[in-house]
Amino acid sequence: MANLIKENNDTLLNLNYSSEETFTGLLWIDKSKVYSKVVSYRVQSNTYEFTIPLNISNLKQVISVDVMGVATSGNVFYQIPSITSSSYGNSITNWVISNNSMRFFSTISFDANIYVILKYTKTN
């Protein structure tokens, strides 16, 4: 992926994914730097609700969140939030971010790896 750097080693644009906080090279509408981070979490079976700690210091504004679930039982990929119908029944899965963590709720149990791609600004 592209990672454009100025002569003084300042990032111009970083399109790489990382589990570490990364400055994207973008600025939000208030001129704050936009950061990106991927948080992964393993959900055990028979789990209907769970919380993922985001561990972002000085979090100011969440700009975008993409969440992907990958079922451990096979090659089943799904976007969250989701409303699905399958042989397991109908399901509704959603999430909310509060207090530097992400809380998930579902009407069916989870057994998956969850990947959260966050873009956000910081207070300093």
CA distance 85 to 50: 22
Please give the share of the chain, as a percent, with pLDDT higher than 90. Answer: 33
CA distance 114 to 72: 10
pLDDT of residue 7: 52
Convert the pLDDT of each residue in 17-55 to its tens digit.
899 999 988 899 999 999 999 999 988 777 788 889 999
> What tokens does 78 get?
């799904």
- What value does the mean pLDDT of the chain take? 82
Res. 2: pLDDT tops 60: no
pLDDT of residue 16: 85
Q: Which amino acid is located at 57 in the chain? A: S
pTM for the model:
0.79
Query: How is 18-51 classified by DSSP, letter by letter?
Result: -SS-EEEEEE-TTSPEEEEEEEEEEEEEEEEEEE
Give me Rg for the CA atoms of the chain: 17
Res. 6: pLDDT tops 70: no
CA distance 87 to 100: 35
- Residue environment code for 74-110, b if the CB has 16+ CB neighbours within 10 A, otherwise e: eeeeeebeeeeeeeeeebebebebeeeebebebeeeb
Average pLDDT for 4-15:
60
pLDDT of residue 82: 74
Convert the pLDDT of each residue in 82-100 to its tens digit.
776 666 666 678 888 888 9
Residue 31 makes CB contacts below 8 A (sequence gap 6+) with none
Res. 5: pLDDT tops 70: no
- Smallest Cα–Cα separation from 110: which of 68, 40, 41, 48? 48
